[in-house]
Amino acid sequence: MRSFITIELSKEIKDFLGSLQDKLKQSGADVKWVEPKNIHLTLKFLGEIKEEKVDKVKLALEESLKDRPCFYMQLGPLGCFPNTKFPRVIWIGIKEGDIETRQIAEYLEEKMAKIGIPKENRPFSSHITIGRVRSGLNIKNLIASLDTLTANLSAQVLPGQTVNKIILFKSTLTPKGPIYEPVKEASLKTI
């Protein structure tokens, strides 16, 4: 089962991110945009896990979160990996709630390693991927659009949401794009 652990985003946030994508699409760059309905904040990508390990993952997820309180998460700056001069991955960061998402991701990393799921090679960064650049086509237009949009966003109050659960998703790859199905929801503690 191909799977990942994530924070599901509110409709308001998905709509907002879809509108950012629409503005960036005007650049004519060759970008594979994440469908707004599939946009999420990945805390831990598990990859292919065997069915017999799924129950262990579910239990580790519950144990990881049972004492963690709900928190507020607000969108932050727009960015790119590796950087805005050579964009490969276009993302939006987390302003408020960054510490909490990083702590949960780091704790999940440790819990999953104990049940045989390899750790990531790089440290966790709280971000939401909205697109992946496929080629250099109109890349200068994309960079200019990113610069303009980044400046505009810095003057706005961006949407946010309360995070009260973390979800284990199954991902099925199809020619029309991935299909995500929730497998397990683990609730955070209500204060």
pLDDT at 176 > cutoff 90: no
- The whole-number pLDDT of residue 143 equals 96
> According to the model, what pLDDT value does residue 70 have?
97
| Residue 166 to residue 7: CA distance in whole angstroms | 5
- Per-residue pLDDT at 66: 85
Q: Phi first, then psi: give them for residue 61, nearest 5 degrees.
A: -65, -50
How much of the chain, in percent, has pLDDT values that exceed 70? 100
Average per-residue pLDDT for the chain = 94
CATH number, domain containing residue 151? 3.90.1140.10
Residue 51 confidence (pLDDT): 84
Task: Verify whether residue 127 is a known catalytic residue.
Answer: yes
Give the model's confidence band at 177: pLDDT under 50 very low, under 70 low, under 90 confident, else very high: confident
- Range of the structural domain that residue 109 is part of: 2-187
Is the pLDDT reported for residue 103 higher than 90?
yes
Q: What is the pLDDT of residue 159?
A: 97
Query: Which residue among the candidates 14, 111, 127, 184 is catalytic per the annotation?
Result: 127
Q: State the catalytic residue, choosing from 14, 40, 44, 111.
A: 40
CB < 8 Å & 24+ apart, contacts of 85-90 = 85/143, 87/133, 87/139, 87/142, 87/143, 87/146, 88/132, 88/133, 89/129, 89/131, 89/132, 89/133, 90/24, 90/31, 90/129, 90/130, 90/131, 90/132, 90/133, 90/146
Query: How far, in Å, CA of 79 to CA of 91, rounded?
Result: 5
Average pLDDT, stretch 83-98?
95
User: What pLDDT band is residue 155 in, cutting at 50, 70 and 90?
Assistant: confident
**Number of domain units in the chain:** 1
